[in-house]
Structure formats: structure tokens, C-alpha cells
Amino acid sequence: MKLVWHPPFCGVGRVRILAWTCECRATFYELCQAGGQAFIRSTLQREPDNEIKETHRWPLRQACDVWAALLSGEAR
């Protein structure tokens, strides 16, 4: 499965981080929930600024399925 990454959506007030990968890697991921929907955030750590991208928003159950696919290597 190929994920489509977009610039961060600025219209959300609070974002709850539900799960994350280790920040020790150059790119790490977070499963996020905001406004009744969930998405995955990708952060590429580099100087001087990190590059942050986010996926489409899904219902939480579907986002958890995509999260599992990302962690298992079935999605990227």
C-alpha cells in the first residue's frame, strides 16, 4: 500500500498521539487523533528544520489498520 503524504493540516486545535515509533531514526511516525478522526504523521529529522507530513484522515479503526500495515512494512 502506498500512502499519500500531505503538508500538515493547520485547522486542528489539539492532536492526541496514540502510538509512535522510535525518534532515534531519521524518520519516525506517530499515529494521531484529532477531531474524531485519525491520521499518521511522518517526521524527517534534519537540520535546520524537520520535514513533517501527514496522511489523509480516517476513522480511528481504519487508521489503526493502516498504522499496523506501516509497521509491518506493507505500507509506506
**Cell numbers found for residue 32:** 494521531
Say if CB 39 and CB 63 are below 8 A apart: yes
pLDDT reported for residue 12: 67
Q: Which of 53, 45, 43 is nearest to 3 (CA)?
A: 53
Which pTM does this prediction carry?
0.91
pLDDT reported for residue 13: 76
Domain parsing of the chain, residue ranges: 16-72
Per cent of the chain over pLDDT 90 is: 80
- β pairing state of 37-44 and 27-34: antiparallel
